[in-house]
Amino acid sequence: MNLVRTFSDARASYKGTVALVPTMGFFHEGHLALMTAAQNSADTVVVSHFVNPLQFDNPADLERYPRDVERDMTIAEEAKVDVLFAPTSVEMIPQTPLTAVTVDGLTDTMEGVMRPGHFAGVATIVTKLFAGLQPHLAFFGRKDAQQLAVIRRLVLDLSFPVRVLAHPTVRESDGLALSSRNTLLTSEERLAARELSQGLFAAVTAVEAGERNGPRLESIVRGALHSSRPDYGELASQDRVERLSELDRPSFLAVAARVGKVRLIDNIAFDLAAGEVVADRGLRLKHPSLLYR
Ligand code: AMP
């Protein structure tokens, strides 16, 4: 594996087609799944590793975000990643940017409301990664459904020659979506964190029984939150991220809640196949995550 710190060193180590997996590090099996999907689709896999300060609206959250580059290098090496791009902050943000990428409309709900400036921070850094690393493909997790919509739209609007591919959410065996932030939970909070996925799966059961009403599905999700403090539970369209009164198109049911000091998000995507609604439940680990290794 090549560990590189600059865009030009990353580009100099490419062979053939290039797939990018953007991350903020502290790897777990969700990241590994994106790396494997990238390996199956391209000759060179470049994983970016950068805790993006522009996307944190809360300085304490940025401060607390788990970091361990040595650990991540070992994991990336084991995963046979070709290039680990771990830029210095000067390489990534040489000067306070006077240019920002904002994606309107899609960011007026959910995370866009709860975390002002968050998506502009994400979109600006992802644009820099696309410009500096010039990948043919880029892999993102469905775990961050609104982010995925934002990235797809910025690629369309700015004509980036990048194909965006999405991967299902990887979950612990009890359903909790993997997140680097899970390492910040106490054991009591870890139990409470199950409420997010439990609510989503209860809503999936209702959908399978024929429920299509948006507000009723949202109230099932919110109704599961007892020990965690809800920020929102919303059904929205996958492309425009517009709140839906009926599940009648590709959509996702999303939840965000605070468990202690840790803010967690999760969602289940609903796709339509031959007129049928199909829930993407994600993938479940059979063993505890490497987050706790
Ligand atoms: P992060 O390092 O949390 O910014 O995530 C980097 C990429 O991994 C993003 O595209 C996320 O959507 C994706 N990701 C994070 N958690 C998961 C998960 N549990 N399952 C699948 N993808 C994930």
Mean pLDDT of 215-241: 98
pLDDT, average across residues 142-171: 98
> Residue 283 has what pLDDT?
98
Residue of minimum CA distance from atom 5 in ligand 1: 23
143 alpha carbon – ligand 1 mean position (Å): 6
Same domain, 50 and 152: yes
Q: Into how many domains does the chain fold?
A: 2
pLDDT of residue 117: 97
User: What average pLDDT does the segment 77-99 reach?
Assistant: 97
Ligand 1 contacts CB of residue 181 (under 6 A) = no
- What's the pLDDT at 275? 87
Q: Is residue 275 part of a domain?
A: yes
Same domain, yes or no: 55 and 118: yes
**Ligand 1 pocket mutation, candidates 144, 178, 267, 291, criterion most atoms within 8 A of CB:** 144
CB of 30 sitting under 6 A from ligand 1: yes
Taking a C-beta distance cutoff of 8 angstroms, is the pair 253, 200 a contact?
A: yes
3-state secondary structure of 157: helix
Distance (angstroms) between ligand 1 centre and the Cα of 197 equals 16
Q: What is the pLDDT of residue 149?
A: 98
Query: Would 105 be classed as within a structural domain?
Result: yes
Q: Does the annotation mark 136 as catalytic?
A: no
Average of pLDDT values for 93-105?
96
Q: How confident is the model at residue 293 (pLDDT cuts 50, 70, 90)?
A: confident
Q: Helix, strand or coil for residue 17? A: coil
Look at ligand 1, atom 17, and give the residue with the nearest C-alpha.
Answer: 30
CA distances (Å), 17 to each of 34, 39, 105, 136, 158, in order?
16, 10, 33, 6, 21
189 and 141 in a common domain = no
* Last residue in a domain, options 167, 201, 233: 167
Angle among Cα 40, 129, 123 to the nearest 5 degrees reads: 110
- Do both 225 and 159 map to the same domain? no
Domain of 118, in residue numbers: 2-167
Cβ of 31 closer than 6 Å to ligand 1, yes or no, is yes
CA–CA distance, 66 with 56 (Å, rounded to integer): 14
